[in-house]
Amino acid sequence: MHKTTIDNFQSGLVWFRRDLRLQDQHALFLALKHCEKVYCVFVFDTDILDLLPRSDRRVEFIHASLVNLDEHLKKTTQSTDVRLITLHGSAKEEIPQIAELLGVQAVFTNHDDEPTSLSRDSLIRGKLAAQGVSFFDFKDHVIFERSEVLTQTGNPYGVFTPYKNAWLKKVTALDLQSFDIKPYTANFATLKPAHLKKLKSSIHTLEEMGFEPTNLNQLGVHTGIDGGDFLFKDFLKRMDQYQETRDFPSIKGPSYLGVHLRFGTVSIRALARVALERANAGSAGAAVWLSELIWRDFYAQILHHHPRVATRSFKPEYDSIQWEDDKAAKKLFKAWCDGETGFPIVDAAMRQINSTGYMHNRLRMVAASFLVKDLGIDWRWGEAYFAKHLIDFDLASNNGGWQWASSSGCDAQPYFRIFNPTSQSERFDPKGAFIYRYLPELQNLGLPALHTPWLAKPMELLSANLKLGKDYPLPIVDHAKAREKTLMRYSVVKTAKKK
């Protein structure tokens, strides 16, 4: 990988984005190492915020994490005069302006490889260059990025397992080492009185930016550096059992670190380092979890090499599929969004995301498969819905997951593999604990009828005080018929491949 040569500067600015921590933060480490004074800034970017609803859990998570970051900044420097600068406006304007106000010679930040982010950074780089300010960006969000893991012929991988094998062969302790800022903490800068007059004295509140609190606190979501540290330590106790527990939504199996990886309140290097050590020591759970971390790298490099996947299928022939898009389809889509499909496991999953901003990974596959292969609706509709509601939304991973479920992506499941929502429910929520939690209207319905209410005997429904079609919907689709229709719908792929 190309190594960036960095001069030493009198002062520099670190622009925090999806890396909201101090320890093992690549850009921050290099800024402190190469600058006598380092300022820290976060921009509440209106180019992004203006597209969001006024009540958004991600914005609240970010806000709480910035408050925590500021606390750590003061604690690390043992000074109340060192603080995180927050700005509210378009980053394209705010970063060049704050660089000029503070008189820095360089801006340091970490890579964000989403297409719109790359365009934004290119514009800012140009503006800073016109001011005589250097712009440096670094890898921090993944272990290997862009073109660091290629095939022997120099091409990007399109299948996960060979990519994973190459990843594991390539990784060394150097790739996972921590960037320790402790030797350089004296280089954090305090703001001059002249700066303080022109900058807000505290972190912008949600209300000041036009947002309102969500149910994040009531949900008990752990935010910030402290939250990520707490969850990681908690998961360490369970990591060795991960492969046994990860697919059951009613069990505390996942790490719940997705949102912390998304916003960088934990270090991916720290997580991968522990996972690799345990996997090498024989932990099956750690090995499976490490694979999940490698999937993040895989999807990130797919987006980098094939940015078209943000709007089109990785496999071009799948764009020839004719999806349902009439009024009836829109009605079915709404039922899916609202958790009113008549299939309990699908509905419970959708109500989970709607009420918490989180969905268990197994259920993401089940819900996605149902939308695409039972209802015949374009995967992009579902992808957009998840993008709006998931607190851990990441473009590369969300897009990759949806294209996997729809069979249109890299290393996707074959199109003829169609999840049966009933068998998925019976296998991964056998006692119905998850369904009962999110579908209280079914609380009196016993097993096995809970998985298929429409097959329940009249006496079962009567004793459960349940009227199908009134208290809980009848199935909006016949799975067996939908399966046959899907196989027909996807048959055009074979024709498209031959052309």
Which residue out of 244, 292, 426, 460 is catalytically annotated?
292
SS3 assignment, position 55 = coil
295 catalytic, yes or no?
Answer: yes
Alpha carbon distance 35, 106 (integer Å): 9
404 catalytic, yes or no?
Answer: no
Q: Which position has the token pair 């997951």?
A: 401
CA angle 10, 13, 17 (to 5 degrees): 160
Q: Which position has the token pair 């309140």?
A: 265
- Residue 161 near residue 294 (C-beta atoms within 8 A): no
402 catalytic, yes or no?
Answer: yes
Q: Could you write out the DSSP letters of every residue in 458-493?
A: HHHHHHTT--BTTTBPPPSS-HHHHHHHHHHHHTHH
379 catalytic, yes or no?
Answer: yes
- DSSP class of residue 38 equals E
SS3 assignment, position 44 = strand
Alpha carbon distance 194, 94 (integer Å): 18
Token pair, residue 315, equals 């496999």
Which residue out of 100, 277, 354, 361 is catalytically annotated?
361
Which residue out of 15, 167, 336, 379 is catalytically annotated?
379
Give the list of residues 6+ apart from residue 189 with CB closer than 8 angstroms, or none: 11, 37, 38, 39, 82
What angle do helix axes 379-389 and 361-369 make, rounded to 10 degrees?
150
Which residue out of 15, 289, 402, 404 is catalytically annotated?
402
What's the full length of the chain, in residues? Answer: 499
Alpha carbon distance 38, 41 (integer Å): 10
Rounded alpha-carbon distances, angstroms, from residue 445 to 335, 422, 449, 451, 468:
22, 16, 7, 10, 12
Which residue out of 295, 336, 381, 404 is catalytically annotated?
295
Q: How many helices (H) and strands (E) does the chain have?
A: 23, 5
Would you name the residues annotated as active-site residues?
Answer: 292, 295, 323, 361, 379, 402
